[in-house]
Amino acid sequence: MSLGIRERFEIAFAPPRYLLPPAAGIDISLSSIKAVTLASTSYGLLVDKIIDVRLPAGAFSEGEVINRFAVVEALKNVMHQAGAEVAHISLPESKSYLFETHAPGRTKEEWRLSVEQHLDEIIPLPPEETSFDIVRIGKPENGEQPLAGIGFARRIVDETLSVFDEAGITALSLESETFSTARALLPHGDDSTVLIIDFGRTTTKIAIVAGRIPRFATTINIGGHALTLAVQKHFGVTEAEARKVKTERGIVSAPGNEDYIAAMLSTVSAVKDEIERRLEYWQSRAALSSAHEPVARAILVGGNASVRGLPEYLEGVLHIPVSAGDVFTNLAPRAYWLPEFDYAESLAYATVIGLALRSHVP
């Protein structure tokens, strides 16, 4: 089987830092293209440039380019502002297939060959139409190496590369959003098992990460915009007014707002139920097998993660500590620099900062 894109880059797992020039991180979402470049200083990394270019409605949908011209032009605009020609690029979690397996051998090439021989048992795609990457997790057992891997339909990979090629951008790497987000939020060397909840506008991505490597991920098709619509319906206001109410009130109970809270929680509870179900499954597996550690805490990020009361609500139902994330974890201490955006805004940039970090942090 041809490995297709392997000659040009790794799909998910970073090569040594010294092999990569500094590059922009680029993340394409439903409504915009975000880019970040980092600068090295004597006191550590800091954000050099941050760009957010809006996309026309429908230009990018469900992880695929719909309006090619609009996306290419937006990418050209982004890279012109970033002053870069090379980039680390995200692939949508919803289009990926995470897996765990074992393989004999002592090198990555031997493991890849073994995985490739039974790839159709792991990923529900024809092997010749699949691009994948692997990384070792843990120590060898009975002569076989435990591995975590991720696969994508080659069509998704080829289309993404084609769009970036047309925009004149050299792709240094492609990886799933969950890998990038984990790299941004967790310090290098962190071996803990963490639940990451990315509460976006139209979706909520959840990932269980062990040692900064995603081991489980899924996308829920409910996001913060559903809360905005609930506010609109309850108060009969415009979308802009509803977003303001959502930000100010959140899901915090107060005298006289019982109906409002009920309307909000009817939406939030749908997300909560899905998260709770996946977490319970993981925790039960951890209790039965030494191969998995239980989730110790949850980190909340995404453009709608700053909704007041959301961390406290999730903590109460998930029974683990829940806190908002710090997307600058692997950058210089804030005493030496000030981000261009406030904390609430920064929560929407976890993926793109994690991508930019590929040139600097393992």
pLDDT tens for the chain, 362 residues long, are 233 344 444 555 555 544 455 689 999 998 899 999 999 999 999 999 999 999 999 999 888 999 999 999 999 999 999 998 899 999 999 999 999 999 999 999 999 999 999 999 999 999 999 999 999 998 888 889 999 999 999 999 999 999 999 999 999 999 999 999 999 999 988 999 999 999 998 899 999 999 999 999 999 999 999 999 989 988 899 999 998 888 888 999 888 888 889 888 988 999 999 999 999 999 998 888 777 899 999 999 998 998 999 999 999 999 999 999 999 999 999 888 888 778 888 999 999 999 999 988 76
Q: Cβ(20)–Cβ(335) under 8 Å?
A: no
Q: Cβ(134)–Cβ(149) under 8 Å?
A: yes
CATH number of the structural domain 220-322: 3.30.420.40
Chain centroid to Cα 267, Å, comes to 22
Identify the bridge partners of residue 175 per DSSP, sorted by sequence position: 90
Span(s) in the chain for CATH 3.30.420.40: 220-322
Q: Cβ(289)–Cβ(338) under 8 Å?
A: no
SS3 137: coil
pLDDT given at position 263: 86
CATH number of the structural domain 4-187+329-359: 3.30.420.380
- Look-up of token digits 């843990």: 138
Task: Report the DSSP pairing between strands 170-176 and 86-91.
Answer: parallel
Q: Cβ(314)–Cβ(298) under 8 Å?
A: yes
pLDDT given at position 6: 42
| Alpha carbons 195 and 135: distance in angstroms, whole number | 20
Q: How far apart are the first and last CA of the chain?
A: 29
pLDDT given at position 13: 56
**Measured between alpha carbons, how far is residue 73 from residues 29, 53, 89, 160, 274 in Å?**
15, 10, 16, 14, 37
pLDDT given at position 16: 52
Q: Give residue 143's region: left, alpha or beta (phi > 0; psi -120 to 50).
A: left
| Alpha carbons 216 and 38: distance in angstroms, whole number | 29
SS3 178: helix
Q: Is this prediction's pTM over 0.85?
A: yes
Q: Cβ(185)–Cβ(301) under 8 Å?
A: yes
Span(s) in the chain for CATH 3.30.420.380: 4-187+329-359
Tokens describing residue 28: 């394409």
Q: How many of the other CB atoms lie within 10 Å of CB of 164?
A: 21
